Amino acid sequence: MTTEADRTGPLLLGVRHHGPGSARAVRAALDAARPRAVLIEGPPEADALIPLAADEHMRPPVALLAHAVDEPGRSAFWPLAEFSPEWVAIRWALENGVPARFIDLPATHTLAWEKEEPAEEAPSEEAPAEPDLAEAEPADEEPSDDVRIDPLAVLADAAGYDDAERWWEDVVEHRGVGAEDPLAPFGVLAEAMAALREVYGSGGHERDLVREAYMRLRIRAAQKEFGDAVAVVCGAWHVPALSERTTVAADRARLKGLPKVKADMTWVPWTYRRLARASGYGAGIDSPGWYGHLFSAPDRPVERWLTKVAGLLRAEDRIVSSAHVIEAVRLAETLAVMRGRPLPGLGETTDAVRAVMCDGSDVPLALVRDRLVVGDVLGEVPPDAPAVPLQRDLDRIQRRLRLKPEALERELELDLRKETDAARSRLLHRLRLLGVPWGEPVASRGSTGTFRETWRLRWEPELSVRIAEAGVWGTTVLAAATAKSEADAVSAPALAEVTALAERCLLAELPDALPTVMRVLADRAALDTDVGHLAQALPALVRSLRYGDVRGTGTGALAEVAAGLAERIFVGLPPACAGLDADAAEEIRRHVDAVHGAVGLLGDAPAPGHGDLRARWRTVLRVLSGRDTVPGVIRGRAVRLLLDEGELAPDEAARLMGLVLSPGTPPGDAAAWIEGFVGGGSGGGMLLVHDERLLGLVDTWLTGVPAEAFTDVLPLLRRTFSAYEPGVRRTLGELVRRGPGQRGGVAATGSGVPGFAAEPDQERADAVLPVVRLLLGLEADDVELVGVAR
The Cα–Cα gap between 748 and 750 comes to 6
Q: How confident is the model at residue 130 (pLDDT cuts 50, 70, 90)?
A: very low
Asked if residue 4 is part of any domain, the answer here is no
Instruction: Kindly state whether residue 36 falls inside one of the protein's structural domains.
Output: yes
Whether the link from the prior residue into 61 is cis, omega within 30° of 0, is yes
Q: For residue 204, what pLDDT is reported?
A: 54
- What integer pLDDT is reported at residue 97 of this predicted model? 93
Question: pLDDT tens digits, residue range 172-201?
Answer: 666 654 446 788 888 888 888 888 888 777
Write the single-letter amino acid at 268.
Answer: V
When pLDDT is averaged across residues 450-471 and rounded to a whole number, the result is 82
pLDDT digits (tens, 9 = 90+) for 627-653: 888 888 888 888 888 887 888 787 787
CA distance 195 to 192: 5
Clarify whether residues 205 and 144 are in a common domain. Answer: yes
CB-facing half-sphere around the CA of 611: CA atoms within 13 A: 7
Domain identity same for 268 and 174: yes
Please tell me the predicted confidence (pLDDT) of residue 146: 44
Between 158-167, 256-265, 350-359, 597-606, the lowest mean confidence (pLDDT) is in 597-606
Distance (Å, rounded) from C-alpha 354 to C-alpha 359?
6
Q: Assess whether 138 and 180 both reside in one domain.
A: yes
Coil, strand or helix at 643: helix
* CB-based burial, 85-102: b 16+ in 10 Å, e otherwise: bbbbbbbbbbeeebbbbb
What CA–CA distances, in Å, run from 96 to 51, 440, 587, 618?
12, 46, 71, 82
**How large is the greatest C-alpha to C-alpha distance in the chain, in angstroms?**
110
Rounded percentage of the chain residues whose pLDDT exceeds 90: 19
Give the C-alpha separation, 281 to 179, whole Å.
36
In whole angstroms, give the CA distance from residue 140 to residue 199: 12
321 with 443, same domain: the answer is: no
Q: Tell me how crowded residue 515 is: count the other CB atoms within 10 A of its CB.
A: 11
Q: Give yes or no for residue 655 having a pLDDT over 70.
A: yes
Mean pLDDT (whole number) for 19-27: 87
Residue-level pLDDT at 625: 83
* pLDDT per position as a tens digit, 243-282: 888 889 998 998 888 888 888 888 888 888 888 765 545 5
Let me know whether 122 and 167 are in one domain. yes
Burial 293-305 (b: 16+ CB within 10 A, else e): bbbeeeeebbeeb
Q: Do 497 and 535 touch, CB atoms closer than 8 A? A: no
Confidence of residue 134 (pLDDT cuts 50, 70, 90): very low
For the chain, give the mean pLDDT.
Answer: 78
- Three-state DSSP at 438 gives coil
Is 215 contained in some domain?
A: yes
Residues 175 and 229 both lie in one domain: yes
Angle at 288 between CA 286 and CA 289, to 5 degrees: 120
| Alpha carbon distance 32, 433 (integer Å) | 54
CB 236 within 8 A of CB 349: no
Q: Which of 473, 494, 526 is the last residue of a domain?
A: 473
Contact, 692 vs 744, CB < 8 A? yes
- What's the CA gap between 303 and 348, in Å, rounded? 12
Confidence at residue 43, expressed as pLDDT on a 0 to 100 scale: 93
Split at pLDDT 50, 70, 90, the class of 750 is very low
Q: Which of 200, 197, 88, 95 is nearest to 144 (CA)?
A: 200
> In which element (H, E) is residue 495 found?
helix 495-508
> Residue 132: what pLDDT?
38
| Residues whose CB is less than 8 angstroms from the CB of residue 118 and which lie 6 or more positions away in sequence, other chains included | none
460/440 Cα distance (integer angstroms): 13
pLDDT in the model for residue 684: 63
- 515 bridge partner residues: none
Question: Quick one: which of 95, 77, 121 has its CA closest to 38?
Answer: 95
pLDDT value at residue 608? 52
The candidate with the shortest Cα–Cα distance to 588, out of 663, 523, 531, 667, is 531
Phi/psi of residue 11, nearest 5 degrees: -85, 115
Instruction: Say if residue 782's pLDDT is above 50.
Output: no
437-444 long-range contacts, CB within 8 A, separation 24+: 437/463, 438/405, 438/463, 439/412, 442/411, 444/413
DSSP 624-641: HHH-TTS-HHHHHHHHHH
Cβ-Cβ contacts under 8 Å for 230 (sequence gap 6 or more) = 10, 11, 35, 36, 37, 38, 39, 219, 222, 223
Per-residue model confidence as pLDDT tens digits over 93-115: 999 999 999 999 999 988 887 65
- Are 678 and 684 in contact, with CB atoms under 8 Å apart? yes
Region 31-41 average pLDDT: 93
Sheet holding 263-269, edge to edge: 75-80, 62-68, 263-269
Whether 93 and 16 map to the same domain: the answer is yes
Residue 571 lies in a domain: no
pLDDT confidence tier of residue 790, bands split at 50, 70 and 90: very low
SS3 229: coil
- According to DSSP, the β-strands at 230-235 and 11-15 are parallel
Residue 405 located in a structural domain: yes
Q: Please choose, from the candidates 523, 525, 486, 491, the residue with its C-alpha nearest in 3D space to the C-alpha of residue 502.
A: 486
Instruction: Supply the pLDDT for residue 323.
Output: 93
- Which of the pair, 698 or 90, is modelled with greater confidence? 90
Whole-structure pTM value = 0.65
Q: What is the pLDDT of residue 629?
A: 84
Q: Which of 129-138, 585-594, 612-621, 735-744 shows the lowest mean pLDDT across its residues?
A: 129-138
More confident residue, 6 or 372: 372
Q: What is the dihedral of CA 297, 298, 300, 302, to 10 degrees?
A: 70
Q: Is 336:348 a contact under the CB 8 Å cutoff?
A: yes
Same domain, 48 and 106: yes
Q: What percent of the chain clears pLDDT 70, i.e. is strictly above it?
A: 81
- Indicate whether 553 pLDDT > 60: no
Closest CA to 79 of 304, 228, 215, 272: 272
**What number of H helices and E strands is found in the chain?**
35, 10
Which pLDDT score, from 0 to 100, does residue 788 have? 40
pLDDT value for 131: 34
Q: What is the pLDDT of residues 278-334, one digit of tens each?
A: 554 555 677 889 989 988 887 888 999 999 999 999 988 889 999 999 999 999 999
Q: Does a structural domain hold residue 113?
A: yes
Residue with the larger pLDDT of the pair 325 and 158? 325
Q: What is the pLDDT of residue 740?
A: 63
Cβ-based burial of 195 (10 A; exposed 0-12, middle 13-18, buried ≥19):
middle
- Range of 431's domain? 389-473
Of the three residues 279, 312, 339, the one that is the final residue of a domain is 279
Q: How far apart are CA 529 and CA 39, in angstroms?
A: 67
Please indicate, yes or no, if residue 467 is contained in any of the structural domains. Answer: yes
Q: Is 235 helix (H, G, I), strand (E, B) or coil?
A: strand
pLDDT digits (tens, 9 = 90+) for 388-419: 788 888 988 998 999 888 888 888 888 888 88
**What does the H/E/C string look like for 37-77?**
EEEECCCHHHHHHHHHHHCCCCECCEEEEEEECCCCCCEEE
437 shares a domain with 319: no
- The total of structural domains in the chain comes to 4
* Same domain membership, residue 242 and residue 96: yes
Shared domain check, 236 and 158: yes
- Co-location of 250 and 102 in the same domain: yes
Q: When comparing pLDDT for 739 and 766, which is higher? A: 766
Across-strand partners of 238? none
Taking each helix axis as running N to C, give the angle between helix 692-703 and helix 667-678, from 0 to 180 degrees, rounded to the nearest 10. 150
- Among candidate residues 390, 611, 612, the one with its CA nearest the CA of residue 481: 390
CA–CA gap between residue 46 and residue 79 (Å, rounded): 13
Q: What is the predicted pLDDT for the residue at 681?
A: 59
Kindly tell me if the per-residue pLDDT of 3 is higher than 60: no
- Residue with the bigger pLDDT between 91 and 70: it is 91
SS (H, E, C) 258-279: CCCCCEEEEEEECEHHHHEHHH
* Residue 645 within a domain: no
Domain C-terminal end among 248, 279, 310? 279
pLDDT number for residue 277: 60
- pLDDT category of residue 218 using cuts at 50, 70 and 90: very high
Q: By mean pLDDT, which of 289-298, 352-361, 603-612 is the weakest?
A: 603-612
Task: Give the pLDDT score at 276.
Answer: 73
Q: Residue 556 pLDDT > 70, yes or no?
A: no
What pLDDT score does 26 carry? 92
Task: Write out pLDDT tens, residues 421-436.
Answer: 889 999 999 999 998 9
Binned at pLDDT 50, 70 and 90, residue 141 comes out as: very low
pLDDT grade, residue 50 (50/70/90)? very high
- Above 60 in pLDDT, residue 752? no
